[in-house]
Amino acid sequence: MKFTVGIGLLGCGTVGAKVADRLQGEHDALERRAGTHYELRAVAIRSIQKQRPRSLDPHLFTCDARSIVDDPDVDVLIECIGGTNEAAEFVERALDRGRHVITANKDLIATQGPRLQALAAARGVTLRFEAAVASAIPIVRTLDEALAGDDIISVAGVVSGTCTSVLSMMEEGADYAEALSEAQRAGFAEADPSNDVDGIDAAHKLALLVQLAFGLAVISPRIRRTGIAGITRRDVARARMLGQRIRLVAAATRTVDGARAEVSPVLLPENHSFAQTAGVENVVRIFARDAGVLELRGTGAGGTASASAVLGDFVSVLRGIGEGRDIARRRRTNTLEPAIAVNPLFTSLTRSSDLPQYPLWDDNLTDTPAAHALLAL
Ligand SMILES: NC(=O)c1ccc[n+]([C@@H]2O[C@H](COP(=O)([O-])OP(=O)(O)OC[C@H]3O[C@@H](n4cnc5c(N)ncnc54)[C@H](OP(=O)(O)O)[C@@H]3O)[C@@H](O)[C@H]2O)c1
């Protein structure tokens, strides 16, 4: 270990504070795993008044995020501020200046990922975002590395912990408004919950899954979504009487000229693995031509779980730097193909006669003879 990699961190909130705390508190252990010395050079925040982790020297903090991005001694930038405006500017600027970037920002990658990936590839640096899809669940690496030699037919799952929390509470008898306030009190929903309950967050994650699984430049505004705000306590109770649960499902399948993708509340048999999610638990099912059906489940939100994913990317990037490898990722997302058609997926599902407003989930939707025929083309 001869040289020191400079680290800049943007954001010290739910995710950033955990990342910073572990970068400092577990410095020696992380260095051993990475095989490279590193130094956290600065942390950008908005307000100097807030309390920060005690492991962090106050001198590390700055309200000038741009000074970190422009610091020639910062080799790796970790972006944990969120949003799509300033975060986009900082990430783009960092990539352009030849820094490797690790981000937890699904909104950013789901809306501007293809452009940023192309910039990273052009500058010979890497852009990693494992925490952006389903937090601790290693879905990005599974699709991008473990399944790189396979063809993905479909991805589907329950990826909104906020919606699952609200729906689980409604199963206990709460109405929608009560369940939402309870989820906000418990920290499962934000003060402005619209991003989650309107399905926007799930559509962002689905866009990332489509990019990774199919290598298609699909951004989230192209995906049809329906949120959970229209679901009533009566709907949830009626579903339970029929042996079913309602969950917000995000699913996509490959087609000849693009993808079919959609986010919507669907009815699931209560013993289905998607129906058995609770709280912030996420589940993602991948159907690959040769590997068959794979399912990953785990904690889909929260600072500690998300920091685990960010630090996984961090160790991986530092190992590459330490070994002198070219770590610019040759991933499906570096060469995304345009998707001519992005059509809704759930139109082909049948409707329950008791609850006709909800599609009835069918596993065959994501494992059809047509999908096999497509891959044989
Ligand atoms: N929370 C989760 O469970 C979770 C899970 C997976 C992915 N993510 C993603 O992780 C990212 C961060 O989420 P979070 O929940 O940690 O957000 P957060 O708690 O709101 O933290 C945001 C942090 O960024 C700082 N910040 C915002 N704008 C800034 C600017 N212009 N310059 C400098 N600092 C700035 C804030 O400073 P102050 O502290 O001074 O306000 C705060 O420390 C988001 O992209 C989110 O989607 C979150």
Mean pLDDT of 278-300: 94
Give the other-Cβ count within 10 Å of 335's Cβ: 13
Q: Is 18 among the residues known to form the active site?
A: no
The mean predicted confidence, pLDDT, of the chain is: 92
Give the Å distance between the CA of 272 and the centre of ligand 1.
Answer: 34
Residue 91 CB less than 6 A away from ligand 1: no
Query: Which pLDDT band holds residue 86 (cuts at 50, 70, 90)?
Result: very high
Query: Which pLDDT band holds residue 88 (cuts at 50, 70, 90)?
Result: very high
Residue 14 CB less than 6 A away from ligand 1: yes
Residue 220 CB less than 6 A away from ligand 1: no
Mean pLDDT of 53-61: 93
pLDDT on residue 263: 98
Query: Which pLDDT band holds residue 142 (cuts at 50, 70, 90)?
Result: very high
pLDDT on residue 352: 85
Check pLDDT > 70 for residue 113.
Answer: yes
Check pLDDT > 60 for residue 249.
Answer: yes
Mean pLDDT of 25-33: 97
| Sequence-distant (≥ 6) Cβ neighbours of residue 246 within 8 angstroms | 167, 228, 231, 235, 236, 239, 265, 266, 267, 268, 358
Q: What is the pLDDT of residues 197-245, one digit of tens each?
A: 999 999 999 999 999 999 998 999 999 999 999 999 999 999 999 999 9
Q: Give the global pTM.
A: 0.92
In this structure, of 76-90, 266-280, 338-352, the range with the lowest mean pLDDT score is 338-352
Give the Å distance between the CA of 101 and the centre of ligand 1.
Answer: 16
In this structure, of 53-57, 68-72, 160-164, 189-193, the range with the lowest mean pLDDT score is 189-193
Residue 114 CB less than 6 A away from ligand 1: no
pLDDT on residue 262: 97
Q: What is the pLDDT of residues 310-331, one digit of tens each?
A: 999 999 999 999 887 777 766 6
How large is the C-alpha radius of gyration of the chain? 21
From 2, 18, 106, 205, active-site residue? 205
pLDDT on residue 190: 83
Residue ranges of domains in the chain, CATH in brackets: 4-136+302-335 (3.40.50.720), 139-301+338-376 (3.30.360.10)
pLDDT on residue 368: 59
